[in-house]
Structure 1
């Protein structure tokens, strides 16, 4: 029998907390969730609750539901935290993109300002060049135009005068040509700068549009991250509240556990004492038989003047499989195995043990399923549990005696009824009772235990 707690009515405080947790759960699942989603989540909680009750039979339905929700929320928390980390990563990426685009916009605007300043300077230079050309043309006009070579020659009063006139004319033409060439280059540069300015302006416009979209994406990522953080915060708050609720239940659970610990220990101790007596009587009988055999062998040897043969000794116990146990129910799977059960979510310390021993195996059988004797034996107990603290419910204990030096008894709990009585002999395969849901049970099943030589052992090793 596991160290379990019988079902007891939930306190008003517990009922209020469970109601609050249920309401919180519904809100946390989001108002946008449709009915199917809510039904799926309710089904998930119910399935988890049943698993919790199979693993921790001592828990009442109310606390099992709280533990189930706690398990589900804690199971969801890592994924929610990862989603939050992913969302925060997207925020960082979006912010980086916005920053990079802003830098590109700033660079393009600086280029735009530089080109604009260059264009303004070019315009000033063009104006100055045009002014210089105008002055040259005006001076030529005042002087009757640039003189021809012939007029310069006839107008000269000597070699030196002619040379001077020609030099002046050449210089004037050179100056005018240079000014015109410079003006042409300045105009070309200005056209090129205007084209570059137009391209930069277009780039700035595109970059600003991209930056605006990136900013929207960043805000969207921040909103998503905030939503994911809220989910994580909600899960943390809910798991904290449920942990606190389970923590508050410790005194009641510990009190119930203490009673059941005492009850379970007493049942096993009673069986162990009976088996101790059985084994002691078996050993004495075996020893008497061996002694008699040794005495007879010695007398026979003496009568025949032969050395006495080596003395026989009581053989060591053989394999417990010699009992040849069959399954007590037919076609029903094992829903919970034998072994240590850790404390659910570390909230109930079980007197510092950190868990408890599930001292048998559970067969998932419907109420009313026949239970058969797995081996022949005497009925040691066939009774009904008394009071709400009796976790076994209707129970049977069969004594299978001693086989090859091993004493075996089998226990059957939570029965709906039994068909045998104390001290009755039953054969292997004989009907002894029916699967039920009595005592500390949250659903129809058979709890089956094997006590070998005074110790609870895994029934699967004997079946």
Structure 2
């Protein structure tokens, strides 16, 4: 809230209350001219109220849209980051799986080659053993054949040589038979190894294929999510630009209206420097609580404004009252004005006359409605309106102000 506005407003309100006491022609003429000028400015302010209120609502909506856009953007970026991480993992797994698959296939090929050689060796050994068996059957027992030849007059030395040869052949055939058995065992081992390697390669190919599908899905998702993030970045930028544009419009409009009002009300203040005490009052030295029984939720002083989001003077004391709570005059006096302001909402301004040697004006802001009229005299404790949350407000409360000699002051020193 703007302290310069209050300075000007105080003088304006005092002038309004006292203008009826000015009877000289010069005062009346000048008053009439100023009142006409004031009426024109008030009309401009009144015309701008709806736009200013709408603009402020637009700003709040723009901030909400910006926050929502930022939330979506943060979530989308997190999702994209997770997808890219999963994609990197899938790619690494793909490379690892391919390397293992190549090694397994090479091992399988080598095992197949060994198996092929073993099968050929087995076939050769089986053929040799088969030939030996056939010959043995056709020629009979070699030992018996040599003994028969000996009986038929063959030399004994020939018989000995034939028996030695038979022994050598038997040993060779025995070795062949043993080799055949060993070949069959090795061949079976190789066959089992080939089978296991084939199963291993099959499983690796299936896993690699599944990982490849997942990798492609992740790649597609990453592209889609990156596009979404780009759009959300654009949306957020647009929301931020909109919020900043409306904020600039608000500040500019408020500054222009307050500057004009300050200029005019300063002139009205200069007309009535001696009429302050004639406004009324009950002669008390302190103010009563305008909403008794309710605690203070925000004190007078600098604070971060919850709507405008800037540090500025909080020019009064907030009482945490529910909407519709009766609000009472803090002291007797005269109602100077009742009107709506985009910042203060519905407000009642009372001229409480002189207290402790100072001109005291109290204002009651953000009301739902008022039940008094300008020029009406009220007594201390009289209900003048009902609390609300109009204007720049984040919830139901009463914003109570004390203006002493045209300057805002801490209400706590007067209550």
TM-aligned CA deviation for residue 121 of structure 1: 1.3
Contact kept, 8 Å, 1:152 with 1:165, in 2: the verdict is no
Which of the numbers 320, 323, 328 marks the counterpart of 1:372?
A: 328
Per-residue deviation, 1:101: 3.8
Aligned equivalent of 1:207: 204
Distance 1:437 1:178, change over 3 A: closer
Residues 1:157 and 2:110 are matched in the alignment: no
**2:348–2:364 contact (8 Å) kept in structure 1:** yes
Q: 2: CA distance between counterparts of 1:337 and 1:158?
A: 142
SS of residue matched to 1:326: coil
Q: What is residue 123 of structure 2 aligned with on the other side?
A: 127
Spell out the pairing of 1:231-270 with structure 2 (5 A cutoff): 231-249=228-246, 252-262=249-259
Q: Is the 8 A contact 2:76 2:228 kept in 1?
A: yes
1:211 Cα deviation after fit: 3.1
Instruction: Label 1:330 to 1:217 Cα distance change in 2 as closer, same or farther (>3 A).
Output: farther
CA deviations 1:381-413 (Å, max 9, x no partner) are: 32446xx8896655314547555x998653223
Residue matched to 2:363? 411
Q: Tell me if structure 2 keeps the 8 A contact 1:77–1:232.
A: yes
Maintained 8 Å contact 1:7/1:60: no
Aligned to 1:188: 185
Counterpart-to-counterpart distance in 2, 1:112 and 1:128:
24
Q: Across the two proteins, how many residue pairs are aligned to each other?
A: 358
Contact 1:393-1:440 at 8 Å conserved across structures: no
Segments of 5+ residues of structure 1 without an aligned counterpart are 11-56, 278-321, 346-353
CA-atom RMSD in angstroms: 4.9
Q: Partners of 2:164 and 2:358 in 1: how far apart? A: 141
Bigger mean CA deviation after superposition, 191-200 or 328-337: 328-337
Q: Secondary structure of 1:147's partner?
A: helix
Give per-residue Cα distances to partners, 1:415-447, cap 9 Å, x unaligned. 5335265594631x2223345787778998654
SS in 2 for 1:419: coil
Matched with 1:166 is 163
Distance 1:459 1:174, change over 3 A: farther
Farther off after superposition, 114-123 or 388-397: 388-397
3-state SS in 2 of match to 1:113: helix
Deviation at 1:208, TM superposition (A): 2.8
> For the residues of structure 2 that align with 1:128 and 1:336, how far apart are their CA atoms?
108
Correspondence for 2:385 among 412, 427, 433 = 433
The alpha-carbon distance between structure 1 residues 440 and 397, as it changes in their structure 2 partners (threshold 3 A), is farther
Does the Cα contact within 8 Å between 1:417 and 1:436 map onto a contact in 2? no
Distance in 1 of aligned mates of 2:132 and 2:72: 89
Higher relative contact order (Cα pairs below 8 Å, separated by 6+ residues): 2
Equivalent residue for 1:80, pick from 70, 76, 80: 76
Q: CA contact under 8 A between 1:376 and 1:426: conserved in structure 2? A: yes
Q: Distance in 2 between matches of 1:89 and 1:325?
A: 66
Q: 1:110 aligns with which of 89, 98, 106?
A: 106
TM-score normalised according to structure 2 size: 0.65
- Match in the other structure for 2:65: 69
User: Is residue 147 of structure 1 aligned with residue 143 of structure 2?
Assistant: yes
Cα distance, 1:106 vs structure 2: 3.0
1:389 and 1:136, CA in 2 relative to 1: closer, same or farther beyond 3 A?
A: closer
Contact (CA 8 Å) 1:406, 1:452: kept in 2 or not? yes
Contact 2:360–2:405 (CA under 8 A) maintained in structure 1: yes
Q: How far is the alpha carbon of 1:72 from its aligned partner?
A: 2.2
Question: What TM-score, normalized to structure 1?
Answer: 0.59
